[in-house]
Every structure is written in structure tokens, then in C-alpha cells.
Chain A
């Protein structure tokens, strides 16, 4: 097991290399001179040339990439073109907001979605099942920013219960989390339902019934563990997506998160900030995947047996 974890962590090296190389190439090939960007459109050609020389922008591509990677190995992500702040500091300031947002919404999705999915499967074609299908469909077809705006209208403008924007206290997180949960709920509910339906028809579930197990015990003890792996996979994918891509919701609620940081960076061609954010996201995705793979092993002894090899 330890060996497996070490192996997976070593995989981070090629992943970071690949991701950084791709992003760096794109930024290099992109038209526009960063020096011009930093100095503004009023700057003289002389000043631009001088700054380009200082920043090493005249060096060949591979030398530039090598220099960046040298910094990365030392843990130095460089500083933003726009305001000169250290990229690590920028990310460190934004990351907790995004993490909280993603974690709470995914928690909400699991707490609501999984039980509804299970009930839908046990009572297939019942009223609860029908209602959950329709509700999931409706929620999934609405764009997230629109749900966000509607919630804001209702709870902040009409009822004046919750603050519309900001990230100062936990109250600020309620609306964005609800929005993100609403959007992601459908997938988890449907996934839980379909895997549970599949598991309920398995022979070993009939065996459990033949032993005299009641419905509750059959579901909780025999079905749940077997049905959780696909659900876990979906939840992990959604969590990763939320960390990197909750941009719309972050901007609707003016939450200073990682997603909106990345979008501003791209808009202003801020190469170091883009590189830093993407590499951090890649590392987070890899770690989430590792954790999920380890959870598979906890759930399923057959996967555990493969790790032991």
C-alpha cells in the first residue's frame, strides 16, 4: 500500500512537467509582448526592449522554459506581471475560499443526493422517484449563474436574509454553496439510483433476502457498499471541477476564489499567474484522484488485493 502511494506521488513529476510545458508553449505562442503589457500602451519602444531583456523574454523558448522550471523546483512560482505580487501568495489567499466552496457544496450534494438516489432505486417508479427525476432534470438544465442570481434575488433582495456577495463569514457561503449543489445534485442522484438498481438485482442480494434479511438491512449492508464506487467516482470528478471551475458562481457572488483568479489572469495574459494556478490545480486533481483510489480499496476487498501485490 505504501509503495503504491509513493508510486502515485512520483507520478506527479511527469504530470507537472507535461502540464507546465503545454501551458508555457501556449503562452509563448500567444501574440503580444508581456513587457508591453506590464508597461502599458504609452510606453516607449526603448523601455519595452529594456524590460524584455531584463525578463529574459529574448531568450530562446527552451531557455525560458528551463528558467521557469528552475524556479518551480525551488518552490518559486514567480510574480504576477500585473501587480508584481508573488504568485504563491496570490494563490494562497484565494485557495481557501475555493476549497470551502467546493467542499461544502459537494458535502451538500452527497447528503441530499445519495439518500434520494437510494430511495428512488428502492421505490422505483414511485412518486418520490418521479419527483426526483423531474427535479433533477429541472435543476440540471438551469445554468448555474441563473440559479445563483435567482437565489440572490429571493434571499438577499426580497427576504433580506443573506448577504448577496463577499466571502467574509460563513453566511456568505450559503447561497453560492446552494447554487453549486443544485447544479451538481442531478448527476449524483441519478448515478446513485442507477447503480443501486443494478446492485439490487444481483444474486447476492437475493441470497441475503433468502437468509431472512429485511429490506433495510439488505440495502444498508449488502447494496450500499457495492453501489458506492461509481458514485464516489462521480463525486470526485465534480469536486475537482468545482475547485478549478466554479468561475461563474464565484463571479456572481463576488467570491475571491481560484477560478476567478485564473480568469483574470488569462484575460490579462499574466503568464506566471496562469502557470502557477494551473500547476497547483493539476497537483490538487492528482491528489484527489489518489485519495479516491485509496477509498476504492477501503470499500472493495478485490481492489485492496490488487494493491497488496
Chain B
């Protein structure tokens, strides 16, 4: 690649949901960037705000209940949050595609899978191709994801879960998007199918030179498929780095460390898995200071008062924790 360039940049994004008098702060000043061609993993517990970030990028947040309070989402030099409805429709599916969590419910039960893949192509048919050409492209996409093209006229209920997810992937990739957001694409599938689908996705990604954001809570998948990793906690990115930084680096945010400790290990002989004490903070009533401090084993007085600033450990590795803050090294080395 000639020059690395940032395809998507999210800056200080804040999203809140308003429901029945409560205000749920789902995303709180979250920033990250994705370089062209790489795969970014967004890791975090359920409710950390990962899906909300994805939906914000897609412009698909529920209109009535959600509100983007601040921030910018720069895609190819344009702020998506300033785009009009029509402009977003032109970008969605064409330049940015999304694969949703549950393939069982992501397909329309009354339309054939062929029609559903075709739809995206028809919507973004700038070159005014004929219907036959588009259908040929659908056949090509089906073969690409390992479904015989003859199944074009079948309905979603005639497919198994794994096959449905392949259809969803074919649908997302039909227009050769620049950026693909995959929101837990394999969570709803059983383990053997997971591996198949993931391998297929990374092969296709390499072949099509696509940038990908992979949302998951499975660290194994991240280690295998991603180039960079962002750990999300309570709507913030608390650690960001390359896979090497996260998986073999020395310094870690206590939360990331907790996530790794919660994984079963083949080497150690411990009989019980460690878990992170406590629960995710209530998003309607977030703690002051560092949002992780009530659960943090290395919590200090300052953590309760002030929000930590991002600290660059190395050029690629960022941690948002007072343990590594400048001028307070004595605390970090303790």
C-alpha cells in the first residue's frame, strides 16, 4: 500500500438514549480511527455501547429515542453526522455495509434471498446496469459465500443459521463496500460454523481489500482476525492498540487485564476462572471519575475524582488510566 490513510475517524462521539424519563448515556466521548484495509476489533462487555457506535456510523440509530449529543464521524473526509437523509441512503449499503448480530431475524421472511441481495445492487446502481447483469452479480456473490446460485429463488426459512449468515454477508458485500461493520457476526452461530464464517469473511476481506470493524466480545476472534483492538467500557475506549500491544504488550488497563484473566488458560493449573468483580455501571447513573473505578482492583483516590486522560504508551498503544499517567509514574510502577 502506498500511503496509510484513515478511512473512518470517530471523534468524541456522545450518544444518549432517552426513555421513560431516564437518560441512558450509551456512548461517552468515544474516539477512534480505522486505517484503510485494516481490521479493527471493538471488544467489550454487553451494554458497553459497541452496537450504538456501529449504528451511529450507519446513521441507523432509532430516531425517536436516541440522540447524538456531540462528536464527528468522518468517513472519506465527510462528516456523516452532517449528511442529509438522502446522502446517507446513498452511502449505506454502497460504501459502508453492516452485518447484524442475528442472521435468523435479519432476513425478510417473505422475500427470496436472491431478491434481498439484489435489492442493494438495485438501490446503488449508478452505472445503470441491466437487471440481468445485476442478477448475474447476485449469482456471483452467492457462489462467493459458498451458496449454490440455484438457491436464488429460495426463502430464508429454507436455510440453516450458518447459511443465513452467509446470505447476510453476501448482501453486505454485494456493492463492494469500502467499510464493513460486523456486529457480532458469529455470536448466534454454533462454534463449528463460527470458524467457517469467520474464515470466509477474512478471505473475502483480503480479496476485496475491504476495511472492517469487527464488534465482538470474543478475544479469541480478535487475536485471530484483527489488526488493531479497542477495548470499550461504559461507552468509552479505555485501551487502544495493535493486536501485539494488547495480546503481548506489558502495560494494560486493569479492565483489559481482567478480561484476559477471565479466559481459561491451558498453561496455568487454576481450577476456577477469575471474573471481574461487580457489574457494568448503570448507564443512567455513571460513576464520577474513571468509570471503571468501582470495580478496579488498583483504584486510587484520584480515580474517584478525575477522569483519566488517554496516555500513549507507545506510538500505537493508548491506555486511559491514571496508572500510566505522566508525572505520576511512581503510581504506575508500584
Contact = CB atoms under 8 A, between A and B. Distances in A.
B218 to A, nearest CB: 21
Interface stretch (A40-48, A270-278, A296-304): A296-304
B110 A210 contact: no
A225 B107 CA distance: 14
Interface residues of A, number: 24
Nearest to A229: B110
Interface stretch (B29-37, B88-96, B198-206, B302-310): B88-96
B92 A212 contact: yes
A214 B87 CA distance: 11
A222 interface: yes
B157 A302 contact: yes
Contacts of B168: 207
Contact of B120 (A212, A214, A302): A212
Given A203-B100, A301-B110, A211 B93 contact: yes
A173 to B, nearest CB: 36
A221 B111 CA distance: 9
Nearest to A206: B60
Contacts of B109: 204, 226, 300-302
Contacts of A207: 100, 106-108, 168, 171
B155 interface: yes
A211 B155 contact: no
Interface residues of B, number: 31
A214 B89 contact: yes
A169 interface: no
B232 interface: no
B106 A301 contact: no
Contacts of A203: 100, 102, 105-106
Nearest to B89: A212
Contacts of B108: 204-205, 207-208, 222, 226
Main secondary structure of the interface of A (DSSP, over half): helix
B110 A300 contact: yes
B123 A211 contact: yes
A249 B145 CA distance: 61
A82 B89 CA distance: 71
Contact of B123 (A205, A206, A213, A305): A213
B45 interface: no
B93 A210 contact: yes
B163 to A, nearest CB: 16
A243 to B, nearest CB: 30
A83 interface: no
B98 interface: yes
Contact of B97 (A210, A226, A302): A210
A306 B252 CA distance: 56
A209 interface: yes
B119 interface: yes
B295 interface: no
B195 to A, nearest CB: 24
B106 A211 contact: no
Contacts of B225: none
Contact of A301 (B64, B100, B155, B171): B155
A141 interface: no
Interface of A: 124, 202-214, 217, 221-222, 225-226, 299-302, 305
26 contacts: A124-B64, A202-B105, A203-B100, A204-B105, A204-B108, A206-B60, A207-B106, A207-B108, A208-B119, A210-B58, A210-B92, A210-B172, A211-B93, A212-B89, A212-B90, A212-B91, A212-B94, A213-B89, A213-B93, A214-B89, A222-B111, A225-B110, A225-B111, A301-B109, A302-B157, A305-B157
Given A217-B123, A302-B157, 20 more contacts: A203-B100, A204-B108, A208-B108, A210-B58, A210-B60, A210-B100, A212-B93, A212-B120, A212-B123, A212-B124, A213-B89, A213-B119, A213-B123, A221-B111, A225-B111, A226-B108, A300-B110, A302-B155, A305-B155, A305-B157
Top 6 nearest A-B pairs by Cβ distance? A212-B93, A203-B105, A211-B93, A211-B120, A212-B92, A301-B155
